[in-house]
Structure 1
Amino acid sequence: MPARLRRSAQPVDPLAGLTLPQRLGVRGVLAEVRDAGVWSWDCPVLLRNRCWMRLDRIALNHLQRYLPPDGRDEAPELVHYRLLLADGVDPLMAQQACWHDFGMADCQRAQRDYWQSRKRHHHGWTARRYRQLVSAYRERIERCVVAVPMLVLAREGSCEPHQLHWISELPS
């Protein structure tokens, strides 16, 4: 494959290619977080779309609507089934126990939704990663660490994951 067509698996420099107004906006967001100094669901999150050269700022409480995480593998029916398997229960017996506890239709729906979600690219943006971002953000602010999460969105049609970077300062 020619070198110009290869896609690098290297992490993206989240600040490379930002325009001067975008850099100034990031500085403003950092100053705002530093001045506020308290945790809030209104804390800013930066979303970088490299394809459109966009850098958007949204409130943390809007992130789930703007970029919905995939949580289908965390359905209670599937979690229960996995716990039974981890406890050494035979897979058929575990399935029957789940049918008894949740109903056959709900268990089958959870499995179908899970497998259908695997066919679509969520770019690794799962409910677990969302919760980790929220937890890490809160922890940083409570420790008086000024850092803002920037999600560098995967390119459309790619299988690459969204990349999370913590921006704490900008080089001059």
Structure 2
Amino acid sequence: RLWRDALASGQPAQALRPVLLHLASMQRGMATGVQRCPGRSRIRKRQVFGRMQRARLFLEGNSHRVVRIGELAELTNFSSWYLSKTFQSLYEESPQSLSARLRLERAADLLRDTDMMIGEVAAASGFDNCCSFARAFRARYGQSASGFRQTGGTLPPKSANSPVASRK
């Protein structure tokens, strides 16, 4: 529709082409997500998808703290059980694991880009306990937070038996 409107109004269509192609690719990705949502009608599937997107964006915007499943359930007006099952089937990751992954990615960015102490990075990433932060960081990245910072934020080479290589 934007493409037709641009042509009808006489605006240079070539200037809009990259933006429109990007939007079209995003819509294709979302259309597959809508199809994977539960519901009998397309309207219901879109409604569920919109609520799941709201929950995902809320998690991404709150990577500095632990987000409880109850908060997401209240935000989406779904039960905790329905939210968890639908989120898992749609994004192939539970809300809790997405939250933990986002918090650890935030911590890695802070370690790479700031000179905050490790305990401050842990607190800024929503970890109450430095030991649990250290354990989670090592499990995710295969090295300690201080080792990550010493290497300039680069990860060690992946070996066949490393925990980082076995994921993804």
Determine which structure has greater relative contact order: mean sequence separation of CA pairs < 8 Å that are 6+ residues apart, divided by chain length.
1
Normalized per residue, the structure richer in helix is 2
- Would the TM-score normalized by the shorter structure come out above 0.5? no
Calculate the TM-score normalised by the size of structure 1.
Answer: 0.27
Normalized per residue, the structure richer in strand is 1
